[in-house]
Structure 1
Amino acid sequence: MTKRAPTADTTALPTAPADTGRRAFLKTAGTTAAATVAASSLPRAFAQKKAINIGFIPLTDCASIVMAEELGYFKKYGVEVNVVKQASWAAVRDGLLSGDLHASHLLYSLPLSVYTGVGGAPGKEIPIAMVLDNNGQAITLSTSLAAAAGTDLKKSGAAINAMIAAKKAPTLAVTFPGGTHDIWMRYWLAAMGVPQSKVGIIVVPPPQMVANMKVGNMDGFCVGEPWGGVAVDQGIGFTALTTQQLWKNHPEKVLGLNKDFSARTDEVKAVMRAVLDASAWLDSLPNRRAASKIISASRYVNAPEDVIRDRLEGRYQMGAGQGTRQFLGDQMMFSRSAQTNAPRHAHAIWFLAQYVRFGLLKQAPDYQAVANRLLMTDLYAQVAKEAGLKVPADDMTPFTVTLDHAKFDPRNPAAYIKANPIPV
């Protein structure tokens, strides 16, 4: 197919982000006991230096940041926050490195990508305070690739390899080099037996995915909701794979911090407490309808409320004749009784191992040292304890990826890479 030049991911960060202001407090805020703490457990008052700018990309999984503002949780913990929409992950990266953003909704692996040089600025640190969500991303293909629909990986791989053999290799879009969506796409291709070197992989900002595929710039994309659902709703694409089908309860977005801001411990802890409360509120399914209405607004995600709501509730119209699939308990999750929110070294090492496996890094990094440098696990444990939440005891526990049943031992990533070669 003839493709136009895709929209480049080079958007500059606004120099003076606008204050979103206080939103209406939802009366339903008090309905979730897990999101409520006694006044006696609130942190002591502290002198906040200035309003905290927290970035987000228009994706459904920005919800815990947005709802922490909308439900008044940031004010509850004594911090003034500006929730600031961003145009691309590159803009978020630049804002966090420059300090224009103090914190942001962020791809789990973006700090790893930046630090190792896959996504620019090698050696620059973007600390990870906590995980925001599991699951809820999707690989979407154009309706012209309907032969690749379904859960049979051999059938789907054969359809894509046939395109390659006919010199019609597909172009596939991801959201940031070495980001979660880049890794999900490459992992899926490898599991199907498709050489990643034979397809085009380009970078497009999340909100521009549907428009770019509609005009023929690419044949598929991997991104967070609601954009996979929007493509199905508009009849231009179908869901080939959800990421919960790839790896159930995988880490997806995190609260990433500016390095200097990460040292302002009291303020960081207050932000984390607010987001933990919002995460628990969101995992009460009746609250998701209210959240869908709020985050669908133009100032946030700017997408149809019903599309956001359906996939938040686990109801997926898959497209391409696949019907409706119901995900319950493995749709997008924000808390899972705080099982979601702990940053785990094993997960960071897994992403770094994929960089080596897929050739994004030519040699293995010091896996443990990179994970130790970027993950604020001690601070998370302290915040969780103060909130009365249990910290999972699986920080370095081996696990199995759902899609291809590959076992990963974070203490021996070299053996994993050797045992799981990619097709060439």
Structure 2
Amino acid sequence: MKKSNQQLTTIKTLFLGLMVLILTSFSEVAAQNDPVRLGFIPLTDCSPIVMAKELGLFKKYGVEVVVTKESSWANIRDKVLTGELDGAHCLYSMPFSVYTGVGGKAGSEMMIAMMLNVNGQAITLSNDFCGKVGFKQMNKVTPVVAAKLKAEKEVTFAMTFPGGTHDLWLRNWMSIAGLNQKAVKIITIPPPQMVANMKVGNMDGYCVGEPWGGVAVKQGIGFTQIASQDIWKDHPEKALVVNKEFSEKRRTDLVKVMKAIMEACIWLDNPANRKKAAAIIGKAPYVNAPADVIENRLMGNYDLGCNQGTEVYSNDYMLFHKGGMVNYPRKSYAIWAMAQYVRFGYLKEAPNYKAIADKLILQDLYEEVAKSMKVKVPNDDMKPFSLTMDKTVFDPNNPAAYLKVVKR
């Protein structure tokens, strides 16, 4: 009888295990049939995701994708972390900001699958500064700001997310211009709300992606003081960031999504396609901004405002592929971003740079996708580099040495 009971228990255990396995398999199959949900913020550099949808590239690679407009980067963060979004167009530095506790709950993991673009952001100043400081006149910024502070008027600049790319370009611009960052106020405003806030006088300047720099010029409320590519040519900007569980359980779908977006990036880098792209992403469901402003800055033609004329960028405007140089997610750039958090006082101590970059960047997956599409994988990761305007050398293998000499 005892032996019979043991056999019965064993059979029950095996049966329950089999049922769990079957239910898990059914669950995974059902998940594979769910559409992939990708979010974006209304910015020109959401183009790879939008155009992959509009050109039918997701369908070409056999994956159903729902694309949704989100209200802010914080909204993107929360939805990616909870799985409400499987992935999103995202500030490349946001996963590191969130993980280190600068812009979210420390230890929260958002995964970088690939990069979407370089360049194409700008620092816009209010027309109150018009005639006092012009395009790339960095040495004139400090006296103008100092004069306003001396008049006992608060100087306010805006960016879009703590530790995000716009925050880093703004702070690097201030450092290069010699501004005391503790003397000014820095606020967080979602990208589409920048122009409206400038119009009512809520800030003196802001850093954000296009088209909101160009829109300020078109509306006559601000002018371009500098483009981000002047600070750092071909700097990393937006990335495809995905939910961790999605990257693990739906790897096949993620690969399909990445292939579609890669093809869209290649398509976007053909100048002949940019007029069509501008017309599409300018529509209300996407960026909801004048197509001519989007197109001009996509083509590298910058009306600077403030009677400064036009600046033409020929090889350092917004780029989406550049033979694979753009899309590769470099760990060295992740380490640079985290070093800025230490530099500018967000973090009191240096994080474990390399371990965090290794954890959050799906570099092996990217290399697999790139090779399957015959896209060249760069071999420059983890090599020293310098920004265009700040010539200080950054060695990703030794951030501490950089922090000893860099300006705050």
Same fold (TM over 0.5): yes
Q: Is the 8 A contact 1:54 1:84 kept in 2?
A: yes
Tell me by how many angstroms 1:46 deviates. 11
Match of 1:368 in 2: 354
1:262 aligns with 2:232: no
Alignment of 1:357-396 (within 5 A): 357-396=343-382
Query: In the aligned structure 2, how far is the partner of 1:384 from the partner of 1:175?
Result: 31
Match of 1:93 in 2: 77
Identity value in percent: 55
Match of 2:386 in 1: 400
Match of 2:64 in 1: 80
Match of 2:285 in 1: 299
Q: Is the 8 A contact 2:135 2:304 kept in 1?
A: no
Q: Deviations over 1:117-150 (max 9, x none)?
A: 0001110100000000000000001000121223
- Range moving further from structure 2, 150-159 or 188-197: 150-159
Query: In the aligned structure 2, how far is the partner of 1:420 from the partner of 1:158?
Result: 22
Match of 2:159 in 1: 174
1:235 aligns with 2:224: no
Tell me by how many angstroms 1:49 deviates. 3.1
Corresponding residue to 1:67 among 51, 62, 68? 51
DSSP 3-state at the match of 1:238: strand
Q: Is the 8 A contact 1:384 1:390 kept in 2?
A: yes
1:162 aligns with 2:133: no
Tell me by how many angstroms 1:47 deviates. 8.1
1:200 aligns with 2:185: yes
1:104 aligns with 2:88: yes
Corresponding residue to 1:321 among 286, 307, 327? 307
Matched residue type, 1:329: N
Q: Is the 8 A contact 1:160 1:169 kept in 2?
A: no
DSSP 3-state at the match of 1:421: coil
Matched residue type, 1:308: I
Query: In the aligned structure 2, how far is the partner of 1:397 from the partner of 1:169?
Result: 41
Tell me by how many angstroms 1:409 deviates. 0.7
1:209 aligns with 2:173: no
Matched residue type, 1:420: V
Query: In the aligned structure 2, how far is the partner of 1:172 from the partner of 1:213?
Result: 10
Q: Deviations over 1:17-71 (max 9, x none)?
A: xxxxxxxxxxxxxxxxxxxxxxxxxxxx998330010000000000000000001
Runs of 4+ in 1 over 6 A off after TM superposition: none
Q: Is the 8 A contact 1:130 1:343 kept in 2?
A: yes
Match of 2:204 in 1: 219
Corresponding residue to 2:324 among 338, 344, 369? 338
DSSP 3-state at the match of 2:382: coil
Matched residue type, 2:39: G
Tell me by how many angstroms 1:218 deviates. 0.8
Aligned length: 378
Tell me by how many angstroms 1:239 deviates. 0.4
Query: In the aligned structure 1, how far is the partner of 2:151 from the partner of 2:176?
Result: 21
Query: In the aligned structure 2, how far is the partner of 1:55 from the partner of 1:259?
Result: 15
Matched residue type, 2:242: L
Query: In the aligned structure 2, how far is the partner of 1:120 from the partner of 1:380?
Result: 26
Tell me by how many angstroms 1:346 deviates. 0.7
Query: In the aligned structure 2, how far is the partner of 1:316 from the partner of 1:56?
Result: 24
Tell me by how many angstroms 1:170 deviates. 1.4
DSSP 3-state at the match of 1:380: helix
Query: In the aligned structure 1, how far is the partner of 2:261 from the partner of 2:343?
Result: 34
DSSP 3-state at the match of 1:328: coil
Match of 1:41 in 2: none
Query: In the aligned structure 2, how far is the partner of 1:154 from the partner of 1:167?
Result: 22
Q: Provide TM-score, normalisation by structure 1.
A: 0.88
Matched residue type, 2:37: N
Q: Is the 8 A contact 1:150 1:156 kept in 2?
A: no
Match of 1:114 in 2: 98
Matched residue type, 2:314: L
Corresponding residue to 1:135 among 98, 115, 119? 119
DSSP 3-state at the match of 2:326: coil
Match of 1:40 in 2: none
Corresponding residue to 1:52 among 36, 43, 47? 36
Gaps in structure 2 of 5+ consecutive residues: 1-28
- CA RMSD, Structure 1 to Structure 2 (Å): 1.3
Gaps in structure 1 of 5+ consecutive residues: 1-44
Tell me by how many angstroms 1:152 deviates. 2.6
Q: Is the 8 A contact 2:124 2:207 kept in 1?
A: yes
Tell me by how many angstroms 1:167 deviates. 2.3
Tell me by how many angstroms 1:322 deviates. 1.5
Matched residue type, 1:372: D
Match of 2:404 in 1: 418
Corresponding residue to 2:295 among 297, 302, 309? 309
Query: In the aligned structure 2, how far is the partner of 1:166 from the partner of 1:409?
Result: 42
> Which of the two has higher C-alpha Rg?
2
Matched residue type, 1:394: D
Query: In the aligned structure 2, how far is the partner of 1:48 from the partner of 1:291?
Result: 30
DSSP 3-state at the match of 2:113: strand
Query: In the aligned structure 2, how far is the partner of 1:47 from the partner of 1:109?
Result: 29
Q: Could you say which structure has the higher helix fraction? A: 2
- Range moving further from structure 2, 141-150 or 72-81: 141-150
